[in-house]
Amino acid sequence: MPYSPRSIARTCKNSVLFISFFVILQGCATVNGIPSGAVFSRIKGPLLITNDNQNLQTGYNTVGTSKSTSLFYVVNFGDASIEKAISKSTNPAGVKISHVDFQYCHFLGCGVYKTIVYYYDSSHQ
């Protein structure tokens, strides 16, 4: 008999512990308070909407992005800030943010968080 009942039970126990580890870690890694799946998630949504009527009427003429990456909920690197997303503007002081969205996608603990900033850049007239 190639597999004993004891080795099968040990394999099942280890599998349950492995899956539980990722489920527990995933609970601490919610995106903006939005729950996501333990194995796979692809989420898009709003992050910020300004209440400045002038910015809303002006709209946007530029879209900037920034992102960060997570590996197994242990190592995170990158810059997903709004400042990074508008850093390509030649005149950051003249930027008026219309709204900000986010995208998040992960599979088994490895994921990418992306910030998308829609803004009016006065240097792009």
C-alpha distances out from residue 52 to 3, 61, 97, 109, 121, Å: 68, 17, 9, 38, 16
Tokens of 88: 């390509």
- Summarize pLDDT for 12-70 with one digit per residue, the tens: 787 777 777 666 665 555 555 666 666 788 888 887 776 665 555 567 788 889 999 98
**pTM passes above 0.75:** no
Alpha-carbon separation of residue 69 from 25, 29, 62, 120 (angstroms): 16, 12, 24, 27
Q: DSSP state, 60?
A: -
Q: What share of the chain is helix, strand, coil (3-state, %, to 5)?
A: 30, 40, 25
H helices of the chain, where?
5-27, 53-58, 82-85
Neighbours of 90 (CB within 10 A): 9
Closest to 102 measured CA to CA, from 56, 57, 48: 48
Show me where the domains of the chain are located.
5-124
Assess contact for 72 and 110: CB atoms under 8 A.
yes
Average pLDDT on 100-107 reads: 88
